Chains A and B, each alone.
Chain A
Amino acid sequence: MAIEVRIPTILRPYTGGERAVEGKGSTVTELIDQLEADHAGIKERLVENGEARRFVNIYVNDEDIRFTGNLGTPVADGDTVVILPAVAGGAVSFI
């Protein structure tokens, strides 16, 4: 058994259009490194300066990793990881 990773529409170009891919690792960091090995380019969309990007949400078994240890959050076979871009914006120009 592997870890199921659900891929949002905007990142499916990296997975050949697949909505879900399999991954492995013992932390989210390792999982993302494995994803990068299989789907080059995807890591840069998830991680910036060693941290999860502010406007990408990553959930392990429905828990936002911001509340469970960020990229160090443990994962194991059978877990489901969901990646969703934040839905955010507004008149402010701070980015």
Chain B
Amino acid sequence: MLTIDQATHDAIIAHARRDHPDEACGVVAGPIGSDVPARLIPMLNAAMSPTFYEFDSGDLLRLYREMDDNDEEPVVVYHSHTSTEAYPSRTDIKLAGEPGAHYVLVSTRDGAHESGPVDFRSFRIVDGEVTEEEVRVVDRYADDASTQEKAEH
């Protein structure tokens, strides 16, 4: 299950709408091992395409260095589909390189980029296997995960 706070959830949808008809993409980083998506990092889609996304290689290096420095990992990797459903494509499955991440897909098809509900779904993609999981949207994260981590230090 993916637990995500309302503000981050809404910001991902806003990003997808903003970049429509191109695919939008980004990461939500969180403390290593916490499974808490805490810090939204919208990324530029270097492909600037309605059917493909790719982080710029320089941006990618800076992102991973920053997460390393902060003891973070990519808890969520998100992108939008702009004319198909919010389900991983063959390309998504083949290129999924973060076995520990929640892969979030949103769809802005059928006018959803302007108004109405936006499909927001989450998947695990490991060794080519896709498993959909429940998405729980919360007002804010309970303190347990992060405070326990701190207490142990």
User: Interface of A with B (CB < 8 Å)?
Assistant: 8-10, 55, 57, 59, 62, 64, 66, 82, 84-95
Q: Does B47 contact A (CB under 8 A)?
A: yes
Pair B97/A8 contact, Cβ less than 8 Å = yes
Q: Does B55 contact A (CB under 8 A)?
A: yes
Interface size on B, residues (CB 8 A): 36
Q: Does B3 contact A (CB under 8 A)?
A: no
* Cα-based distance from A20 to B91 in the complex (angstroms): 28
Residue in chain B with minimal CB distance to A67: B57
Pair A90/B52 contact, Cβ less than 8 Å = yes
A86 to chain B, nearest CB (A): 6
The 8 A CB mask of B27-65 against A (1 = contact, 0 = none) is 100000000000000010001011111110110110010
Most buried by A among B50, B60, B64, B97: B97
A91 and B51 contact, Cβ closer than 8 Å, known pairs A8-B97, A9-B100, A10-B99:
yes
Contacts of B83 in A (CB 8 A): 91
Q: Does B92 contact A (CB under 8 A)?
A: yes
Pair B53/A95 contact, Cβ less than 8 Å = no
Q: Does B98 contact A (CB under 8 A)?
A: yes
A90 and B97 contact, Cβ closer than 8 Å, known pairs A82-B61, A84-B60, A84-B61:
no
A59 to chain B, nearest CB (A): 6
A18 to chain B, nearest CB (A): 15
Pair A87/B54 contact, Cβ less than 8 Å = yes
Q: Which residues of B, 1-28, contact A by the 8 Å Cβ criterion?
A: 23, 25, 27
Residue in chain A with minimal CB distance to B127: A10
A4 to chain B, nearest CB (A): 13
Contacts of A82 in B (CB 8 A): 61, 64
Pair B51/A86 contact, Cβ less than 8 Å = no
B56 to chain A, nearest CB (A): 10
Contacts of B25 in A (CB 8 A): 87
A70 to chain B, nearest CB (A): 13
Q: Which of B74-82, B111-119, B128-136, B137-145 contacts A (4 or more CB under 8 A)?
A: B74-82
- Other-chain contact of A87, B52, B60, B91 (Cβ < 8 Å): B60
